[in-house]
Structure 1
């Protein structure tokens, strides 16, 4: 069996311990229950009237970044389980741009053995390619900012979480290679940490720990006492006192702050400004630090990201000013809450001093854009495809 490696050069062969268990689903034994019914009925027709060698062309309807290895690996695994040969021609290198309607794969083999696999290999392809595209865009917009994948809670199950982590790693690797971006440095779960070349997931505290402790400072103390060797990222929006709580924690742990082992995370929701800001003060802080960001015409969405409520560019600049004024220039700022490609573009415009972005917003915004499609373009060596899809025929 062929072995494909992921971006971190770890084997994904089904016989290897690194093969993700979620991607083995469905197995050959359970596949018929998850395949579209017209595929299984067609399989019975082919069994009755004779097999043919066919070639499928696989494409997407929007531009994407090629992230095909997971889908291809699953397909090869199932075909090997069936003792059937398959030839898969990947037309674009992993991480390359693929145009709308442009064939990404040609899959050649027995129609009997391939026809009921389409549902699953398309599921594992389309969303990964869009996630890779979005992750790449975000990393390129903010090449000096590290990204941290926190998408797992927004995924529809563990298999989607696996696919999304893989997609983000492909987009990140492309941004690192082409633009020297820092890219994605890790994620929130142990199971998918290997995609980011890590042994475990990262994380410090959720809002629940602060609620449990009764104060932001006490939650930090509890965490530090329990995990003394861990760097600390402190959530500071729980009580609506982002600046006050950030300074209280940094003053309590000045040595950690001086060594760069303490970060503050802004996660303020869009219903209010961070402590000390309003519209006028938000304009003022940007005028001091990135005046060009507010000089030209801006759309409503752009203004919201620049000077609006929640985690805006103004909020991040305000936190940076306060930390520096208090003598804590080495305390990093982690920003989360709605950081997708567009918000990253606006943060770059404002030169927002973000050290790390926690994001799940590289997940596809419009799920309809993730739909990958496969059409048979050749039957026993004779080119044939439905009218309107002639662009898929091999040149």
Structure 2
């Protein structure tokens, strides 16, 4: 729910999510079926649609549960199912005809004839195969039904398999990626062992550390949104269901701003601020590039707190701590549809939770906020300013969707745009703190 709220608040036109069954991200913090109506209510109140994935490889034993499952989602008010299995699609159209049918990338639709077949079965949108170039998409668009939409992944983690249909995890670990349980063996480090010399391992790369030969780069198409639009893409998909709300907010905000006319240069650094693998552009401009040197993440900024309240009159912020920050430290405010602002922490105070023995604990002045999820209060110092972007000083998976066109701005955005200094509840605080993590390699 936290990721969904971030996606909605920071500018997505739709969110895609899974319930606790039939989704491709079984390890994500998915929604219980009984929580879907509340998620739909939050999204719809902001004019945002909800698409629910049921895109695993369906087995015979899954079919009996699907009719009641689709009926429950229909009753909850969801707007679309994302399905890659013909049998599941047939059941969905039969028992929940009100709900739109979107064809998952798992179906690997890469040509207009395949799109036409799905259209004849009731599909209104196809999420095209990830292996398609922009030219491929443009040619498919020319021969598809005019009212069938195309959706394409534009940002996030990529898989080395054909549209994610991989057998390696199942083969090596017994956990099927096609059933939502991928262990990501394409990210592992590999060496060669020759059959007649068991125990002797030979590096694939000369540095002796092995190679992450199947490790795909993360996708980043922020600078190419006009090209996606020109090719006929109606909707861009941001992968991020295994990410935190701060990631969702940062990435959705960047794409929303650029789609609405902001310069790419102002928001490209925002995508460096969040945790990511090396970036590429997938197959859109040719063969996709791998990241063979290491399976690692890096980020230019650290998410340190979530804003609970902000008092304009007293210039005081109350925030929930996520990572440590200190008295006198400069924080950056991530708010939807306004430039990044900076505040300096003054009079940092911990607000202890009430207990049975101390129902009204006194605030405690502290030099550092370091209690995870603890509540802290601080006043805004004099060193406040607005900045267009984030300097790239140290170079190195509730998914959300944003479509071309303006979304309605948040109710408080206009007010804060004239101030440029204080956040609102639901905003994020970060510090410029470079971090790199890797299982192996540089």
TM-score range, shorter chain: 0.3 to 0.5
Q: Which has the higher strand share?
A: 2
- TM-score, length basis structure 1: 0.35
For the pair shown, which has the larger CA radius of gyration, 1 or 2? 1
Q: Which has the higher helix share?
A: 1
